[in-house]
Amino acid sequence: MILETEHFKLDEIRCPCDKCKPMVNQEHLIRVQSLRYEFGKPMIVNSWHRCKQYNKTLPGSSDNSEHIKGNATDFRLWHYSMSEQFELLLLAFKYGFKGIGIYSGYLHLDSRSKPSYWVK
């Protein structure tokens, strides 16, 4: 079982509570790494896996969050130019991310089965 890749280490993937066992969806991890290879720039993880208990502490979080399954990643955006942010968004579609959320300062990508896109 792969728990980390060249560009994404277990410390970035594990839940911030640092008490639970990390949950890693292999398909999602490989998809994120493939996107990173093509994007060619560092991608700072804001959030990846979250256990149910930690997820409940976050305002606006869902009990069905893809983060709980290790199937979602939030990346910080503020260090990219607008054209780099747009490139990253296009690559997210290219690599088959089905959950894409644009927030102020970060991009949510997940590997759910049915498409869902939003801007907040």
Domain residues for the domain of 44 are: 10-119
Mean pLDDT within 14-36: 95
Q: Dump pLDDT digits (tens) for 28-58.
A: 999 999 999 999 999 999 999 999 999 999 9
Report pTM: 0.94
Give the residue carrying structure tokens 């149910």: 52
Of 105, 110, 114, 77, which is closest to residue 92 (Cα–Cα)? 110
Query: What's the domain count of the chain?
Result: 1
Give the residue carrying structure tokens 């999602």: 28
Check which CATH number belongs to the domain holding 23 and give it: 3.30.1380.10
Give SS3 for 30.
Answer: helix
The answer to whether residues 13 and 49 touch, using CB atoms and an 8 Å cutoff, is yes
pLDDT of the residue at 3: 86
pLDDT of the residue at 84: 97
Instruction: Reply yes or no on whether the pLDDT at 1 is more than 80.
Output: no
